[in-house]
Amino acid sequence: MATQHSRTSARIMVAPAVFVLLVWMLVPLCMTLYFSFADYRPLRATFDAWIGFDNYVSFLTSDSFLSSVGVTLQMVAGILCITIGGGVVLALLLDQPMFGQGIVRILVIAPFFVMPTVSALVWKNMFFNVDNGLFSYLWRFFGAQPYDFLSQAPLFSIIVIVAWQWLPFATLILLTAVQSLSSEQLEAAEMDGAPPLSRFWHIILPHLSRAITVVILIQTIFLLSIFAEIFVTTNGAFGTRTLTYLVYQRVLESQNIGLGSAGGIVAVILANVVAIFLMRIVGKNLDN
Amino acid sequence: MGRITLDRVQKKFGDVEVIPPLDLIIEDGEFVVFVGPSGCGKSTLLRLIAGLEDVSGGEIRIDGRPATDLPPAKRGLAMVFQSYALYPHMSVRKNIAFPLKMAGMAQDEQDRRIAKAATALNLTDYLDRRPGQLSGGQRQRVAIGRAIVREPAAFLFDEPLSNLDAALRVGMRMEISELHKTLATTMIYVTHDQVEAMTMADKIVVLRAGHVEQVGSPLELYKTPRNTFVAGFIGSPKMNLLTGAAAAAHGAATIGIRPEHLDVVDSGGTFTGRVGVAEHLGSDTFFHVHVPEMAEPMTVRAGGEVGLTHGDTIHLTPRAAHIHRFDAQGLRIA
Amino acid sequence: MARAISTPKKIMWTALAWGVGLLIFFPILWTFLTSFKTEATAISDPPVWFLFDWTTENYSDVLARSNYPLALMNSIIIAVGSTLLGIVIAVPAAWAMAFVPGKRTKDVLMWMLSTKMLPAVGVLYPLVLIAKYLNVYDSRIMLIVVLMLINLPIIVWMLYTYFREIPGEILEAARMDGASLGKEIIYVLTPMALPGIASTILLNIILAWNEAFWTILLTTVDAAPLTKFIASFSAPEGLFYAKLSAASIMAIAPIIVMGWFSQKQLVRGLTFGAVK
Ligand SMILES: Nc1ncnc2c1ncn2[C@@H]1O[C@H](COP(=O)(O)OP(=O)(O)OP(=O)(O)O)[C@@H](O)[C@H]1O
Ligand SMILES: [Mg+2]
């Protein structure tokens, strides 16, 4: 199938996609890189094209950077724990024989399709609100003092919101993986007298390990750049300022472009560390 | 018209030379079969002729016109693929019409040709079905139908019957042979089925690692194989190739005796051995015989029923006129 | 798993699964119910469930008062536009990589994937700057292009995995039958890949519809889609639950419906074929 003619056409046909992505990747990134070495604060009309690594030094040594990294890690880890743990349980549950499986599946998956701003606002107002939220009502019903989630436990609240959105994703992927496990394998284990728990531990979990890895990596990539949920709930206050949010604030709110750009480059580098692992897995899959 | 000439045609994939420079002439109207072991380059050669692959060197001419740089569509050849390669989203009619539509043929001429092909191939009742609703044999016929409506200069078949079951294969084999007789168009046919090659071909091309080992009519190859490779490859069951003292006795490095040219005798005989396996087919009996001085068991074909079984002693005598002699290089000694 | 299962057991699983399913779905259900209440019922203590005077007033209010219709229009144009633009660029590329793979095809695919992993915030300011410089800040065209670019790797990958499942021999047959490259793509590849292309379009409309970084930061009013519109939905607290719910339901309903159709493709598309 590969003649010179078709190879030439192939090159021409890939070219537009490669070109636009190359421009998309290089032009803004180079600009960020350029700004990251400049002292550029438009509000104060300061522009000094080259100040060396000052921005990086002040960004990396600032308390807000360290705390933002801490917040980011806590947030990502919390969400991953909930979605993976919950996802495995839900996937196994949905794989059981039941009536109306299709409908239950739809119910479980739905949150993934809710736009981030909607889910954040719905949770913020209708569930977490101290005065009128459902949780407050529930607390009062049991005679407890209503709890102001978003100011008392803001990080936890955001974790709940985002985990609710991503749980369906983990469930769906793990369910696909569970269903690809041959029932013969399980039946053989059952014949060998393995009790359910050890069947789960020795057969199901190893089978899921690959899917779990993929879920972890993909979610991490997306979760590292969570924005809207923080934007509409706490606006970065009360210890919910992630690295992404910190950079956003430096760039657009305080208009310290140089510092923000340095932060942006740091974020790019950190994301790439995760990306490399994901690419390995995907790449391996491409070969067979 | 469909005379195809290959002149020093060569194919490399990267650094690997799959087909070293090769010359071959396929005459107009001939039925040529390419045979050879798996991976020897049969499909590659066919695809070079089709234009689905570029040659790395040499020239291909179709009816005297250089075709080396023509795209597949312009070569006037039709191909039938092993997987049939029918368009699953089109009805049988549309499948067959596709090449005509691509050629921009008038609708009534298209209809006429489709009707003719459908009648010839017994497809008239299925014209409005999708390929997915057809049996393997019917799909095969659609693929052939799609090829014949164009009235191409030559047909190329790449193992077209290998996906069919045994019974159907015999039937389709006949149909393709008959089609060749009626159309009298050049056909190039790739297979590794012995029987297909022997029964269908006007000319067989035996390939090994991209080399042409021998070209000739089926009987020529059967009677006078040029070397031990062809001798071992053509004929079923395989020819017995003997070396050592038995060969030296005939003044050769290797001698070849076909299983059907060994007679079972009651006593004496040139070879005496023990029956390993006896395959009773009714019409014939095949014996695999362990002869003490030979490394490999010999195969013997005896007509009808012969009452020997595992462990029995057997005496064999070759027919002198049918002993093939080869020298140390494996080449035939005339 | 084709094995006999006792009915009591099945009923037990059914109850459990439905319970969990409804719990997860509850926020959406509650939003849906609230959207039909009056603002007063929406915050009543104790909450009312189904027995209230159902009203569609909130929907008409939202549609009439705010610039909701504009935001809806923007969402549709941006999501559909960016997806179609992406498809137009991605189909030829995916065709080429699936059917004429070269030595570097794999690298190109992996590289495309890596662009997807670029954190948006790393290029935030340059984009704002470029948008303002080109005078396309707060314009639909800017968002169409940006969302196309961030989803292009997913589109290419999805199409690539679908195309790879089409046997190359069929395309070769088309070539033998005299089809030019264009005709081969139009008459043979595209119809065969149609289900794959359709689900790619579906999933990408969903992703673009829900994108909430660039849509919020590159717009103010004119091009603001629903994500931005909802984000700025902040009337006096407590008195807007019903309207917030109505606006939310309208924003998510079409996408949830599309999402249900694309569950299977979702897995393939978002894992880049690593899980099938
Ligand atoms: N696209 C390719 N790239 C590299 N090597 C190839 C390619 N196509 C075929 N080959 C190699 O060329 C050789 C000949 O392949 P070909 O398919 O022609 O064999 P064949 O005779 O048709 O075998 P079979 O009977 O199994 O179909 C093989 O060793 C194969 O590995
Ligand atoms: Mg072959």
Q: What is the pLDDT of residues B101-147, one digit of tens each?
A: 988 889 999 999 999 999 888 889 999 999 988 988 899 889 999 99
- Give the pLDDT mean for B40-44: 92
Per-position DSSP letters for B126-181, written without gaps between them: GTTS-GGGS-HHHHHHHHHHHHHTT--SEEEEESTTTTS-HHHHHHHHHHHHHHHH
Q: Which residue's alpha carbon is nearest to atom 3 within ligand 1?
A: B13
pLDDT at residue C4 in the model: 61
Q: Is C190 on the interface with B (CB under 8 A)?
A: no
- Among residues B211, B230, B249, the one where a domain terminates is B230
The Cβ of residue B7 has, within 10 Å, a number of other Cβ atoms equal to: 16
Answer whether B26's CB lies under 8 Å from B201's CB.
Answer: no
B94 and B125, same structural domain?
yes
- Give the pLDDT mean for B217-228: 93
pLDDT at residue B129 in the model: 92
- Among residues B187, B215, B230, the one where a domain terminates is B230
pLDDT at residue C238 in the model: 44
- pLDDT tens-digit series, residues B309-322: 888 899 999 998 99
- Distance (angstroms) between ligand 1 centre and the Cα of A246 equals 57
B249 and B148, same structural domain?
no
Q: What CATH number did the domain enclosing B55 receive?
A: 3.40.50.300
B61 and B176, same structural domain?
yes
d(CA B46, nearest CA chain C) in Å? 13
Q: How many residues does chain A have?
A: 288
Closest CB to C179 among B73, B78, B79: B73
Best A3, A107, A185, A273 residue to mutate vs chain C (most C CBs within 10 Å):
A107
pLDDT band at C31 (very low <50, low <70, confident <90, very high): very high
- Distance (angstroms) between ligand 1 centre and the Cα of B44 equals 6
C-alpha to C-alpha distance for B275 and C100, rounded to whole angstroms: 54
B214 and B134, same structural domain?
yes
pLDDT at C237 over 60: no
Mutation probe of ligand 1 site: the residue of B40, B49, B79 with most atoms within 8 A of C-beta: B40
Q: Which atom, in ligand 1's list, is nearest to the CA of B190? A: 22
Q: Give chain B's domain count.
A: 2
The two beta strands, A39-41 and A46-48, are antiparallel
pLDDT at residue C228 in the model: 87
Q: Is B85 on the interface with A (CB under 8 A)?
A: no
* Domain-embedded: residue B284: yes
pLDDT at C39 over 70: yes
Q: Which residue has the higher pLDDT, A239 or C170?
A: C170
How many Cβ pairs within 8 Å bridge chains A and C? 317
* Domain-embedded: residue B104: yes
For residue B180, what are its two tokens?
């060749």
Closest CB to C173 among B77, B79, B150: B79
* Domain-embedded: residue B157: yes
**Global pTM exceeds 0.90:** no
B139 and B38, same structural domain?
yes
B53 and B136, same structural domain?
yes
Does B51 contact A2 at a Cβ distance shorter than 8 Å? no
Kindly identify which residue of chain A lies nearest to residue C171, measuring between CA atoms. Answer: A1
Kindly identify which residue of chain B lies nearest to residue C103, measuring between CA atoms. Answer: B14
C-alpha to C-alpha distance for B231 and B252, rounded to whole angstroms: 15
Percentage above 90 pLDDT, chain A: 25
- Among residues B213, B230, B247, the one where a domain terminates is B230
Lowest mean pLDDT among A51-55, A186-190, A268-272, B19-23: A186-190
Does A224 contact C126 at a Cβ distance shorter than 8 Å? no
B69 and B197, same structural domain?
yes
Reference B316, options B246, B264, B243; nearest CA is B264
* Domain-embedded: residue B119: yes
- Give the pLDDT mean for B149-174: 88
Q: Is B52 on the interface with A (CB under 8 A)?
A: yes
Angle between helices C105-116 and A4-36 (to 10 degrees): 30
Chain A, 38-67: which have a CB under 8 Å from a chain C CB?
Answer: none
Query: CA–CA distance from A188 to each of A91, A98, A196 (Å)?
Result: 21, 23, 13
10 Å CB burial of residue B183 (0-12, 13-18, 19+) is middle
- Distance (angstroms) between ligand 2 centre and the Cα of B311 equals 41
Rg of chain B taking only CA atoms, in angstroms: 23
Q: Is A2 on the interface with B (CB under 8 A)?
A: yes
Which chains form contacts with chain A, at 3 or more CB pairs under 8 Å? B, C
- Give the pLDDT mean for B219-238: 92
Reference A128, options A109, A155, A88; nearest CA is A155
pLDDT at residue A42 in the model: 79
Does A5 contact B52 at a Cβ distance shorter than 8 Å? no
Residues in C touching B86 (Cβ below 8 Å)? 170, 173
Q: Which residues, chain by chain, have CB under 5 Å from ion ligand 2?
A: B 43
Q: Which residue has the higher pLDDT, B287 or C113?
A: B287
pLDDT at residue B215 in the model: 94
- pLDDT tens-digit series, residues C153-203: 989 988 998 888 888 889 999 989 988 888 888 899 889 888 888 888 988
pLDDT at B40 over 80: yes
* Domain-embedded: residue B116: yes
How many Cβ pairs within 8 Å bridge chains B and C? 61
B165 and B148, same structural domain?
yes
- Distance (angstroms) between ligand 2 centre and the Cα of B39 equals 7
Answer whether B278's CB lies under 8 Å from B309's CB.
Answer: yes
- pLDDT tens-digit series, residues B198-221: 999 999 999 999 899 999 999 999
- pLDDT tens-digit series, residues A130-153: 777 888 888 888 887 878 888 888
- Give the pLDDT mean for A160-170: 93
Residues in A touching C89 (Cβ below 8 Å)? 16-17, 20
C-alpha to C-alpha distance for C4 and C20, rounded to whole angstroms: 24
When the pLDDT of each residue in chain B is averaged and rounded to a whole number, the result is 90
Q: Which residue's alpha carbon is nearest to atom 19 within ligand 1?
A: B39
B247 and B224, same structural domain?
no
Mutation probe of ligand 1 site: the residue of B35, B42, B211 with most atoms within 8 A of C-beta: B42
Does B52 contact C169 at a Cβ distance shorter than 8 Å? no
Considering A169-178, A200-209, C44-53, C73-82, the range whose residues carry the highest mean pLDDT is C73-82
Kindly identify which residue of chain A lies nearest to residue C14, measuring between CA atoms. Answer: A98
C-alpha to C-alpha distance for C106 and C97, rounded to whole angstroms: 8
The highest-level CATH class for domain C66-232 is mainly alpha
**What residue segments make up the domains of chain C, in order of their start?**
7-58, 66-232
pLDDT at A287 over 70: no
Q: What CATH number did the domain enclosing B243 receive?
A: 2.40.50.140
Q: Which atom, in ligand 1's list, is nearest to the CA of B210? A: 14
pLDDT band at C77 (very low <50, low <70, confident <90, very high): very high
Structural domain including B318 reads: 237-326
Residues having CB within 6 Å of any atom of ligand 1:
B 13, 18, 36, 38-44, 192
B243 and B170, same structural domain?
no
Does C122 contact A267 at a Cβ distance shorter than 8 Å? yes
pLDDT at residue B19 in the model: 92
Helix (H, G, I), strand (E, B) or coil at A40: strand
Does B98 contact C169 at a Cβ distance shorter than 8 Å? no
pLDDT at residue A134 in the model: 83
Which chains form contacts with chain B, at 3 or more CB pairs under 8 Å? A, C
Residue B278 DSSP one-character state: E
B195 and B122, same structural domain?
yes
- Distance (angstroms) between ligand 1 centre and the Cα of B45 equals 9
**Residue pointed to by tokens 């087919």:** B281
pLDDT at residue A285 in the model: 65
- Give the pLDDT mean for C56-60: 85
C-alpha to C-alpha distance for C18 and A92, rounded to whole angstroms: 14
The Cβ of residue B249 has, within 10 Å, a number of other Cβ atoms equal to: 11
pLDDT at residue C2 in the model: 46
- Give the pLDDT mean for A12-29: 91
Does B71 contact A2 at a Cβ distance shorter than 8 Å? no
pLDDT at B222 over 80: yes
pLDDT at residue A52 in the model: 81
Percentage above 70 pLDDT, chain A: 97
- Give the pLDDT mean for A77-84: 94
pLDDT band at B83 (very low <50, low <70, confident <90, very high): confident
For residue A156, what are its two tokens?
């936890």
* Domain-embedded: residue B333: no
Q: Which residue's alpha carbon is nearest to atom 6 within ligand 1?
A: B13
pLDDT at residue A195 in the model: 78
pLDDT band at B43 (very low <50, low <70, confident <90, very high): very high
- The interface predicted TM-score (ipTM) is 0.86
Q: Which atom, in ligand 1's list, is nearest to the CA of B46? A: 18
